[in-house]
Amino acid sequence: MDILAELGGGVWALAAFLVALSIIVAVHEYGHYIVGRWSGIHAEVFSLGFGPKLISRRDRRGTMWQVAAIPLGGYVRFLGDSNAASAGTGQAVSAEESRHTLDGAPLWARVATVGAGPVFNFILSALIFAAFILLRGVAVETPTVGTVTAPLPGYANELKSGDTILAVGGHEITDWGDIYAAADDLPEANSHEWRVLRDGSEMTVAGPDPLPPVIGGVAPGSAAAAAGLLPGDVITDINGEPIRRFDAIRRHVEAAQGQSLNIGIRRDSIETDVTLTPKEQDIPRAEGGFEKRWLIGITAGSYFTPATQSVGPIVALGMGIMQVWDIIASSLTGMWAMITGQIGSCNLGGAISIAESTGQAANAGFANFVWWISVLSVAIGFLNLLPIPVLDGGHLAFYAWEGITGRRPSDRALNLLTSIGLALVVGLMFFGLSNDLRC
C-alpha cells in the first residue's frame, strides 16, 4: 500500500507540475508571439508541447496554433527560424519577407520580442500576487483581531473579532512586532492576560500564548510539506514531549540534527501524528551572509488572524510588483552565494524537486497552487534572462553586442557560443537532477 501511495503521489505531483509548467510556458511564449506580432515579425507556429501535434488550427494571420504530444514546454517559431522562438536563422526567405523574420527585423524589434517572454512571466506573477492582495486585503497597522479560532482544550481564548490589542502579559503593544517580542518574556502557560479595546472600552481578557504551536505556513518542497502538514495544524507533541509554544518546535528540530521526529498534530479536532526528517538549509542572516540551520519548513501561526483592510488595484499591483522584485533579488543573492561558496550546491534543485514542490502546493489547496505558479513564473522568467546562449538572456546579450559595436556576432562565434550555452544548460539540468537524488 505504501508503494501504491507513493506512486499515486508521484503521478499527482507530475500532473500538477505539467499543469503549472503549461500555464507558465504558454504565457512566456505568448509574450514572444504578441510583441513579435506588434513589431511586424510573423509567427508561423505557436506550440504548447513538443513532438507530433495532437490538435492544430491556423488563424487568419497564417499562424498555426497547436498542442503537441510532449507537454514539457512549448515554443514559437517565427518566419525564417529553423526551430523554436529565438532560434537563429534557418529556412530561406525572400527579400520581401525578410523584414517579417526575427533575424531580419530591426534591433529594437528583436530586443522587444525576445525580452517579452520573461517580462510576461513577471507580469503574470505580479497580477496573481495583486489578485491575492485585492481578495485578502492587508493587515491594518494597529494590532487588531480579525477572525478567531478555538485553541486546544484547556487553553483560553476570549479575544473577539475587532479587539484592538493594547497589552499582552503586561507588555505594552503598539504594533504587531511588539506582540511577538512580548512572547520572549512570557512564561509558558495555558493563558495570558490580554488588555484590549473592545467597543470603546478597555478590558482584560484571557488569551492564548502570542506564539502558540500553530502552523501559519508550509513551504513547498519542505519536510513538513512532504509529511502532509497544513496551515492551521496545531503541533501537540514532538517525540512524546508536549509542545506549548512555537519556539519549542525550533528547539526540538535543532536538537534532532537531522534525525527523524515523530510529531503529534491536531487538525479539525482530530489528533494524529506524522514522522518527518528536518533538512539542513542555508538561511540568510540579518547582518548579511548565511548560516546553516535545521528546518522542517513551517512558519508560526496564531489562534487569530489580523484584521485586514482593502486596498485599491493600483496599490495592490504595486505590492505585487514588489513581491516579484523580492523573489528576483533573493534569487540573485542565492546565486551569487552559491557561486562564491557561501552556500552549498544542494540549494540548486532540479525537475524532480520542483515537481514534488508543485504537487505539495496543489495538495495544500487551489490558492496555494496558484500562488506557487506565480513564484515559479518569476523563477522561470529570471532564469531565462541569464546571459547564456540558447536562453533569452543570451540572445539579448548578442543584441547588446550588436548595439554597442554596430555589427552582429559572426556565425562562427554564434555557433560556438550556442554550443557552449547548450552544454552549460544541459549540464545544470543534470546537476539539479543529481541534487534531487542525493541531497
Active site residues: 29
| 8 A C-beta contact, residue 50 and residue 68 | yes
Q: What is the 3-state secondary structure (H, E, C) of the chain?
A: CHHHHHHHHHHHHHHHHHHHHHHHHHHHHHHHHHHHHHCCCCEEEEEEEEEEEEEEEECCCCCEEEEEEEEEEEEEEECCECCCCCCCECCCCCHHHHCCCCCCCCHHHHHHHHHHHHHHHHHHHHHHHHHHHHHHCEECCCCEEEEECCCCCCCCCCCCCCCEEEEECCEECCCHHHHHHHHCCCCCCCCEEEEEEECCEEEEEEECCCCCCEEEEECCCCHHHHHCCCCCCEEEEECCEECCCHHHHHHHHHHHCCCCEEEEEEECCEEEEEEECCEEEEEECCCCCEEEEEECCEEECCCEEECEECCCHHHHHHHHHHHHHHHHHHHHHHHHHHHCCCCCHHHCCCHHHHHHHHHHHHHCCHHHHHHHHHHHHHHHHHHHCCCCCCCHHHHHHHHHHHHHHCCCCCHHHHHHHHHHHHHHHHHHHHHHHHHHHHC
